[in-house]
Structure 1
Amino acid sequence: MRVRMAWVTGCLGLAMAGVVPAADEYRLGLESTERAAGVPKGRVESFEFEASRVFPGTHRHGWIYIPAQYQGREPAAVMVFQDGHAYVGETGLMRVPIVLDNLIAKGAMPVTIGVFVNPGHRGGGGPDGSGWGNRNNRSVEYDSLGDAYARFLIEELLPFVERTFEVRLSDDPARNAVAGMSSGGICAWTVAWERPDRFGKVLSHIGSFVNIRGGHVYPALIRKTGRKPIRVFLQDGSNDLNNAHGNWPLANLEMASALAFAGYDHRFVYGDGAHNGRHGGAILPESLRWLWREEPGAGVGLEAVLPDGGIREGWELVGEGYAFTDAAASDADGNFHFSDLPRGDVYRVPAAGGTPRLWLENGPKISGMKFGADGWLYACVQATGTNETRRIVAIEPGSKRVETMATGVQPNDLVVTRSGHVFFTDTAAGQIQRVPTSAREMSRPPTVAGGIARPNGIALSSDESELWVSEHGGRHVWRFALNPDGSLGGGERRAVLAVPNGGADSGGDGAATDGEGRVWVTSHLGIQVFDGEGRSLGVVSRPQDKGSVSVAFGGTGHRMLYVCSSDRVYRRMTRTLGR
């Protein structure tokens, strides 16, 4: 089912926030101020952490809440609160230990260990554990995009907590939540966005989804990235900040709209509060009830072409244990082929499915290949055995006879037209070159386009009127008009590839097209998908953390999307037909 957004303004907030007599005068309910009769009290202990390698030289205060029901036999759910001092006290605006005691006792949430951690501080003069004093590493840790803070939690802080307090924490993302207010709110979202395999729930109070360190891009990323398995609760108020970094209410409204568009299981509560924790604290019990409820959400996004919206779990492992897979290609019947490049082997996966079988052994070391209309396999060769000569070859599929088409080349990847032209990318020279399929022992074939930032992947539109080329060393996908005589015209940077936070280039690599005009390009972020006009449709998650380098459609009807990823090959079913 689709989860509807909740808009809570004025008196509409009464059901969740208690009495609201005037703007920003939210009051805590009984579940926040006192433990119900018979509810056992969990214990809270403090700690200090100074051993971070992700943020070296920082020291920070923290606390752990261990519910009375925790016995240690099974891993407990865990919820990590940023700016922990604002959440852990029993006399402040949040009073999380009291709320958790009540909700756990009622069965409204699982037995959950709370970890409350303050941002790091370098050098002397830092504040004590309590209060909002200046912690000089806070903005770097909380407002920055990227996976640094997620790594800090997963690799450093949570293992430290387990060792120090002898507790067991679940690594199931459905039982891991992360929360914060202001910059801590966007930090919570970034943690789950970067590592949805570990954190599946986010609670953001007055989140700073503005341009402090680039966080204003999240609404656009959410719309154009395959939906991730994250449940999100957002809270903000109409009297929140409006300054040089941006407008907090508008930014949160944009986030809520993007989450709705992309089909996330989310809720947005919008009141009239300012930049503080009053409203978030007043609705905290209901926020946690909603966040930890059992029923699943549902969504759309890339589901127009991928049944699961492009999440990592949608990939199926086809084969593993190779030195380096590349050169994804399918024949007319949908039989999928790929190379184990360093070993000079080519494998074949039948269109009906199954496991890879060796098709060509100890042959050329192939970085890119495609089948022509004549049934021959055309390939970019990096070497053959100890012979380091690079060339373009044609392979007769029956006898596996290899014939040299062109030498004096530095080929990376190629396509073959029905009219008998092979176009290939020369990554180092920034060029596209052309050779006829009839050529044999041709030297230095002509260049037909140049000035491209390390061109890599190359693909034809279904009607062969367009040629698409990805930039490995840049941020664009080029589109050329392909004329009947084999000449190219109208070269333009048509699509913009997303770049990882802090990255210099997209890593645009292998490319494929489908019958509806979409262009699929592997990159550092995943497989980026564009419509025929170059507009981004989303990013399909990588099957593993290692890079994805080559992509092709295969299988019965060419509906299966295959990707070569380092030492493995994966596939997933689509709702489109590949070229």
Structure 2
Amino acid sequence: MKMKSPLVRLLSIALVLALTAAPAISQAPPARPTPPTRDPHTPGYVAAKELPDGTNAPPDADGNFILGPTHNPAPDMQPKDSVPQGTVVEFTMNSADSKFFPGIARDPNTFGTPDPTDPAKLIVTTSHPAPYTRHVAVYVPKQYVPGTVAPFIVGADGPDRALFTALDGLIAEHRVPVMIAISIGNGSGDAQGSERGLEYDTMSGRYAEFVEQEVLPLVESQAHVKLTKDPDGRATMGGSSGGSCALIMAWYHPELYHRVLTYSGTYVNQQWPSNPQTPHGAWEFHEHLIPTTPAKPLRIWMEVGDRDLYNPNVMRDNMHDWVVANEEMAKVLAAKGYHYQFVFARNAGHTDRAVKQQTLPEALEYLWQGYPIAGAKH
């Protein structure tokens, strides 16, 4: 047999090393399996009231409700010439100007791999500093009196035109207070290693502090409004990781926010980088934080779909079922005596648009229960 030259042997060794290292730590996420349809009466789920098809839960009732399978838009989700129309002021924010979020990104078509020593951790090596531009849209209702202090709602993944339309009708009907809506775009990407994931899935007060110190002053100056400092007049909302972010904002800063609205909240293990104080990310809300912490002054509206997400990535840690996560949230909120309303939507996927079109006006009305509304009927 002919012996290989030293150069050939070196090239062969280099090729073997390259091939064994190639898959390494980060890789493209596998195709997501179709989530199974869950039955709201599954053993272990919360007991919930079945609603007639096409109807919503009462806006003044706490507890658990099942709606669907039909999801028709609520009347207030349709623009009407007969109600006063708010104005929308828009501006952008650059990462270079932020001391809280200077910007990161994960390389395209990469994700990560579970830590071999801990399946609850995801190792991501393709995340790096990167700039972003953030879009912000501010809804100012026609009824707002310049110079007065107003309540407001902060929403994730903006601009949210559906929210602005709903508020036009609800404010005109005196079902919610005359409020400002601040719809903040994310810093791009999704999940672990991305700017959006860092902002929305991190279990800390950092995002609320970013909003307070960097976004709200711009809102006041750009839209010429004054925002209340009263936490009872401040709400947060969002869907998916934007939903868990909404609760994170209020949980870590209840002196800033008392009202939370979430669609398909990502109360799962998606935090990155890992934090030993909350090693399971937002799964910790129902696993440890809410059960072991004295009740906070929060009012919460939540929704999940029967075909919501289930293990959408490479982790198999039993902490990536959105339905179970939201069901567990309802359990622990009830046990601690919170004012909350939980809606399980039949025939609905993740952050289902039709469900939002059906429920958003009622959800907002529930959210603002107990807050003074000028001209409201009592």
1:236 aligns with 2:304: yes
Paired with 1:148 and 1:6, the residues of 2 have a C-alpha distance of: 35
Check 1:231–1:26 CA distance in 2 against 1; reply closer, same or farther (3 A cut): same
Structure-1 separation of matches of 2:198 and 2:69: 29
Pair 1:79-2:153 in alignment? yes
Cα contact 2:305–2:352 (8 A) shared by 1: no
Which of 265, 278, 293 matches 2:339? 265
Cα deviation, 1:156-187, whole Å, max 9, x if unaligned, reads: 11111112222101111111000000000000
Matched AA of 2:56: M
Tell whether 2:94 aligns with 1:45.
no
Superposition pairs of residues 281-320 of structure 1, within 5 angstroms: 281-294=357-370
Paired position in structure 2 for 1:305:
none
1:102-145 CA deviation, whole Å, 9 max, x = no partner? Answer: 11111111110011111114xxxx8xxxxx9x994101111110
Pairing 1:119–2:186 present: yes
Shift of 1:147: 0.8
1:24 Cα offset (Å): 6.0
Shift of 1:189: 0.2
Q: Contact 1:24 / 1:274 at 8 angstroms: preserved in 2?
A: no
Matches within 5 A, 1:152-231: 152-213=210-271, 214-219=281-286, 220-231=288-299
Letter in 1 for 2:352: G
List gaps (5 residues or longer) in structure 2: 1-45, 58-66, 104-131, 272-280, 373-378
Aligned-pair Cα RMSD in Å: 2.5
Partner of 2:73: 28
8 Å CA contact 1:234–1:267 kept in 2: the answer is yes
Choose the corresponding residue for 1:14, options 15, 31, 54: 54
Q: How does 1:116-515 map to 2 (within 5 A)?
A: 116-121=183-188, 136-213=194-271, 214-219=281-286, 220-243=288-311, 244=315, 246-272=320-346, 273-278=348-353, 279-294=355-370
CA distance in 2, matches of 1:23, 1:266: 20
User: C-alpha displacement at 1:30, in angstroms?
Assistant: 1.4
**Structure 2: how far apart are the matches of 1:28 and 1:110?**
22
CA offsets 1:482-509 (integer angstroms, 9 cap, x no match)? xxxxxxxxxxxxxxxxxxxxxxxxxxxx
1:103 and 2:144 matched: no
Larger relative contact order (CA 8 Å, sep ≥ 6) = 2
Cα–Cα, structure 1 residues 156 and 13, in superposed 2: closer, same or farther, change >3 Å?
farther
Larger Rg: 1
| Identical amino acids, percent of aligned pairs | 35
Distance 2:156 2:305 in 1: 20
Q: How many aligned residue pairs are there?
A: 270
TM-score (norm. length: structure 2): 0.67
Query: Matched residue of 2:236: which SS?
Result: strand
Q: TM-score, normalised by structure 1?
A: 0.44
The CA deviation string for residues 48-105 of structure 1, in whole angstroms up to 9 with x for no partner, is: 01222100144211101000011123211110110113x22xxxxxx11111011111
C-alpha distance in 1 between matches for 2:333 and 2:68: 27
Deviation at 1:276, TM superposition (A): 2.6
Deviation, 1:7, is 3.4
What SS does structure 1 have at the residue aligned with 2:308? coil
Q: Closer, same or farther in 2 for the Cα pair 1:203/1:13, shift >3 Å? A: farther
- The equivalent residue for 1:343 is none
Greater mean deviation of Cα atoms: 187-196 or 136-145: 136-145
Distance change in 2, residues 1:246/1:77 (3 Å): same
Please report how far the alpha carbon of residue 154 of structure 1 lies from its aligned counterpart in structure 2 after TM superposition. 0.9
Measured after TM superposition, the shift of residue 283 of structure 1 is: 0.4
Q: What's the CA shift for 1:242?
A: 0.6
